[in-house]
Chain A
Amino acid sequence: MVDQTRAQWRDRSHFLAVAANAMRRILVDHARAHAAHKRGSGFGKVSLDDGLMASHDRSRELVAIDDALQTLAQMDPDKARLVELRFFGGLSIEESAEVMKVSVATANRHWRMAKAWLYGQLQEA
Chain B
Amino acid sequence: MAPERWRRMEEIFENALTLDPGARETYAANACGEDSALLAEVKALLRQDAEAGTFIETPAIETAGGVGGGADPFESQRVGAYRIEREIGRGGMGAVYRAVRDDDAFSKAVAVKIIRPGMDSADIIQRFRRERRILALLDHPFIARLLDGGTTPSGQPYFVMELVHGSAIASYCERRKVPLRGRLKLFLDVCAAVAHAHQNLIIHRDLKPANILVTEEGTVKLLDFGIAKVLQEDESAPDQTRVGAAAFTPAYATPEQVQGQPVTTATDVYALGLILYELLSGAKAQNVSSLSQADVQRVVCERDPEPAPGIPDDIERIIFKALRKEPARRYQTVNQLAEDVERYLEGRPVTARADTFFYRAGRFVSRNKLGVGAAVAVVVSLAAGVAVAAWQARIAREHFNSVRSLAKSLLTEIHPAIENVPGSTKARHLIVERSLQYLDRVSATAPDNIELMNEMAEAYQTIGAIQGNRNRANLGDYGGALASYQKALQVRRRIAGRSSDPTNRHWISMLLAESARIYPGSDESVLLAREAVKEAQAVLIAEPRFLNTLAAAQFGLAYVLWTREEAPEAIAVFEQSLENMIKAKRSVNNHAVIHRYLALIYFGQGSLKQAEAHYQKARQYSEQRLQEAPTPRSRTDVSYDYAGLARCWARMGREAEALEIALKAETIRREVAAADPADRRAATAAADIDEDLAVILARLGRRSEAVLRIERALAAHEGFVRQAPGSPEELYELARVRTSAGEVYGMLGMCPKAEAAIAGARGIFEKQGRKVSLAALGRLAPCGRSGG
| A residues apposed to B, CB below 8 Å | 1-2, 4-6, 9, 12, 15, 18-19, 22-27, 29-31, 33-34, 37, 42-43, 46, 48-58, 62, 65, 75-76, 83, 86-95, 109, 112-113, 115-120, 122-123
Contacts and interface: CB of A to CB of B under 8 A. Distances in A.
A18 B393 CA distance: 10
Contact of A55 (B13, B65, B292): B65
B117 A91 contact: no
B72 A119 contact: no
B678 interface: no
B386 interface: yes
B70 A58 contact: yes
Contacts of B1: 75
Contacts of A57: 70-72
A93 to B, nearest CB: 5
Interface of B: 1-3, 6, 10, 13-14, 17, 44-46, 48-49, 51-52, 55-57, 59-66, 68-74, 77, 117, 152-154, 156, 288-292, 295, 382-383, 385-387, 389-393, 395-396, 399-400, 409, 413-414, 440-441, 443-446, 448
B49 A62 contact: no
Given A83-B56, A112-B49, A123-B48, A22 B393 contact: yes
13 contacts: A5-B389, A15-B382, A15-B389, A22-B392, A23-B61, A53-B66, A76-B10, A90-B60, A92-B292, A119-B48, A119-B55, A120-B45, A120-B48
Given A22-B393, A22-B396, A23-B392, A90 B70 contact: no
B59 A87 contact: yes
B444 A53 contact: yes
B60 A119 contact: no
B44 A120 contact: yes
A4 B390 contact: yes
Interface of A is mostly: helix
Contact of A26 (B66, B290, B387, B392): B392
A9 B386 CA distance: 9
A90 to B, nearest CB: 4
Given A18-B389, A50-B446, A75-B3, 4 more contacts: A5-B389, A9-B386, A90-B290, A115-B49
Contacts of A26: 392-393, 395-396
A116 B390 contact: no
Counting from the closest, the 5 A-B pairs by CB-CB distance are A92-B290, A90-B59, A51-B73, A116-B49, A92-B289
A48 B154 contact: yes
Given A19-B385, A48-B77, A52-B117, A5 B390 contact: yes
A22 B64 CA distance: 15
Contacts of B63: 55, 58
Contact of A27 (B60, B74, B153, B291): B60
Given A30-B64, A119-B48, A53 B117 contact: yes
A37 B156 CA distance: 25
Given A75-B1, A113-B14, A2 B383 contact: yes
Contacts of A117: 45, 48
B385 to A, nearest CB: 7
Contacts of B152: 48
B64 A58 contact: yes
A76 B6 contact: yes
A15 B387 CA distance: 11
A48 B387 contact: no
Contact of A90 (B2, B45, B291, B409): B291
B45 A113 contact: yes
Contacts of A53: 66, 117, 440, 443-444
A92 B295 contact: yes
A6 B386 contact: yes
Interface of B is mostly: helix
B64 A116 contact: no
- Among A29, A52, A83, A93, the most chain B Cβ lie within 10 Å of the Cβ of A52
A92 B399 contact: no
A112 B386 contact: no
A113 B48 CA distance: 9
A12 B387 contact: no
A106 B775 CA distance: 71
Contacts of B56: 65, 83, 86-87, 115, 118-119
A36 B63 CA distance: 19
A117 B390 CA distance: 32
A1 B382 contact: no
A37 to B, nearest CB: 6
Given A33-B445, A92-B288, A56 B70 contact: yes
B391 A1 contact: yes
Contacts of A118: 55-56
A37 B443 CA distance: 13
A43 B202 CA distance: 47
A1 B409 contact: yes
Contacts of B72: 51, 56-57
B153 A48 contact: yes
A75 B441 contact: no
Nearest to B490: A49
Contacts of B446: 37, 43, 50
Contacts of B156: 52
Contacts of A27: 60-61, 64
A28 to B, nearest CB: 9
Given A5-B386, A48-B153, A75-B6, A112 B396 contact: no
A63 to B, nearest CB: 11
A2 B386 contact: yes
Contact of B290 (A2, A52, A95): A95
Contacts of B440: 53
Nearest to A109: B14
Contacts of B14: 109, 113
B389 A22 contact: yes
B10 A113 contact: yes
Contacts of B71: 57
Contact of B445 (A4, A37, A46, A83): A37
Given A2-B390, A117-B48, A112 B60 contact: no
A64 B392 CA distance: 22
A42 B382 CA distance: 41
A117 B13 CA distance: 11
Nearest to A4: B390
A25 B1 CA distance: 26
B10 A115 contact: no
B389 A19 contact: yes
B95 to A, nearest CB: 11
A122 B414 CA distance: 40
A2 B417 CA distance: 12
Contacts of A88: 59-61
A11 B117 CA distance: 36
B289 A52 contact: no
B141 to A, nearest CB: 36
Nearest to B384: A2
A15 B383 CA distance: 11
Nearest to B73: A51
A29 B399 contact: yes
B77 to A, nearest CB: 7
A107 to B, nearest CB: 10
- Among B44, B73, B445, the most chain A Cβ lie within 10 Å of the Cβ of B73
A46 B72 CA distance: 12
Contact of B387 (A1, A34, A43, A65): A1
Nearest to A75: B6
Nearest to B62: A90
- Among B56, B292, B440, B446, the most chain A Cβ lie within 10 Å of the Cβ of B56
